[in-house]
């Protein structure tokens, strides 16, 4: 794993975490929750590539995992560490703020979904995708995305005929070198299924068939027809073979 040697300790209403990172990373994401599938009281903290942090939490027994934003691309899968915990903490857990990025429109595309947002200002997101609507961590992929003003974000890599549950949270100001940013509430998309690639292939096959039919008819009507290239001749022979 790219994150190892994680130490988690609880002190009253805080969690103290330290770790080691064995890769290049733009940011670190710390995910904590009061269950090992990270569905109950889940919190996502984004921070620069530091090696420790102290987080204010509330009553409960807390689990934690560390994720790295690896590579230099603007979009990639967050690679998670193993899970540590639980450790107890006390206090009152603060409510999550609303995510400032508003979703205007969703469009299904080949192998993915396109999210149109309410601004062309630079922003960042964590997008989660799962085949389960409760987003169990063991069945959920988390990706980070940074966008520099296109007004939309694509989530790719989806398979046809599968219903996906997708949600996102993020903001317009990337975390600074001195701060830790707590993600706001998730924005949930309606269950979605990407467009099948086969539809495009079928259209191509249909176009090819029409082209072959025209070529065969043209040769039939012109007994002295001369092919302009060997490639055209091979297309003609292939069309004959297809027709049988």
Instruction: With a cut of 80, say whether residue 51 has pLDDT above it.
Output: yes
Task: Give 217 or 56, the one with higher predicted confidence.
Answer: 56
Same domain for 231 and 175? no
Answer yes or no: is 193 within a domain: no
Cα(238)–Cα(243) distance, integer angstroms: 9
Point out the domain boundary residue: 188, 207, 229. 188
Residues 99 and 151 in one domain: yes
| Predicted local confidence at residue 204, as pLDDT | 41
Q: Is 85 a member of any domain? A: yes
Q: Quick one: 104 and 154 in the same domain?
A: yes
Assess whether pLDDT exceeds 50 at residue 200: no
Which residue did the predictor score with more confidence, 200 or 113? 113
Are 46 and 78 contained in the same domain? Answer: yes
pLDDT exceeds cutoff 60 at 135: yes
Would you state the pLDDT for residue 233? 66
Q: Given pLDDT bands bounded at 50, 70 and 90, which one contains residue 222?
A: confident
Question: In this structure, are residues 124 and 174 in contact, taking their beta carbons and an 8 Å threshold?
Answer: yes
Residue 145 included in any domain = yes
Domain range for 18: 3-188
In the beta sheet, which residues pair with residue 3? 21
Residue 176 pLDDT: 65
Q: How many domains does the chain have?
A: 2
Tell me what pLDDT residue 230 has: 55
- Whether 92 has a pLDDT exceeding 70, the answer reads yes
For residue 53, which of 172, 186, 182, 146 has the smallest C-alpha distance?
182
The whole-angstrom distance between residue 186's C-alpha and the CA centroid of its chain comes to 14
Last residue of a domain, one of 166, 188, 210: 188
pLDDT tier at 96, thresholds 50, 70, 90? very high
- pTM for the structure as a whole: 0.78
Average of per-residue pLDDT across 66-77: 84
Q: Are residues 224 and 154 in the same domain?
A: no
Domain annotation covers residue 57: yes
Which of 153, 170, 188 is the last residue in one of the domains? 188
Residues 9 and 39 in one domain: yes
Residues 139, 100 share a domain = yes
| 132 and 151 belong to one structural domain | yes
Residue 165 CB neighbour total at 10 angstroms: 19
Asked whether residue 184 carries a pLDDT value surpassing 80, the answer given is: yes
Looking at the fold, whether 219 and 104 belong to one and the same domain comes out as no
DSSP letter (8 states) at residue 159: P
- Share the mean pLDDT of the chain: 85
Do 106 and 225 belong to one domain? no
Neighbours of 138 (CB within 10 A): 10
pLDDT interval class at 217 (50, 70, 90): confident
Q: How much is the average pLDDT of 119-136?
A: 90
Nearest alpha carbon to residue 108 among 191, 195, 198: 195
Q: What is the mean pLDDT of residues 146-170?
A: 88
pLDDT at residue 18 in the model: 97
In terms of domains, do 150 and 234 share one? no
């Amino acid at each position: 794993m790219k994150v190892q040697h994680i130490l988690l300790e609880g002190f009253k209403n805080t969690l103290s975490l330290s770790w080691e990172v064995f890769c290049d990373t733009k940011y670190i994401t710390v995910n904590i929750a009061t269950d090992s599938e990270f569905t109950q009281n889940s919190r996502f903290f984004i921070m620069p590539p530091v090696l420790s942090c102290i987080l204010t939490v509330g009553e409960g027994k807390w689990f934690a995992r560390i994720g790295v934003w690896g590579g230099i691309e603007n979009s990639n899968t967050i690679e998670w560490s193993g899970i540590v915990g639980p450790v107890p903490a006390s206090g009152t857990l603060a409510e999550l703020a609303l995510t400032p990025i508003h979703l205007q429109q969703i469009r299904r595309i080949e192998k993915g979904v396109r999210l149109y947002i309410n601004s062309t200002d630079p922003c960042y997101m964590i997008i989660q995708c799962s085949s389960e609507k409760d987003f169990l961590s063991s069945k959920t992929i988390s990706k980070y995305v940074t966008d520099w003003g296109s007004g939309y974000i694509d989530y790719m890599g989806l398979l046809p005929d599968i219903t996906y549950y997708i949600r996102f949270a993020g903001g317009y100001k990337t975390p600074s070198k001195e701060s830790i940013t707590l993600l706001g509430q998730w924005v949930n998309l309606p269950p979605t299924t990407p467009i099948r690639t086969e539809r495009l292939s079928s259209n191509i096959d249909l176009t090819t068939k029409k082209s072959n039919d025209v070529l065969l008819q043209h040769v039939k009507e012109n007994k002295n027809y001369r092919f302009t290239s060997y490639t055209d001749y091979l297309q003609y022979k292939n069309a004959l073979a297809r027709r049988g």
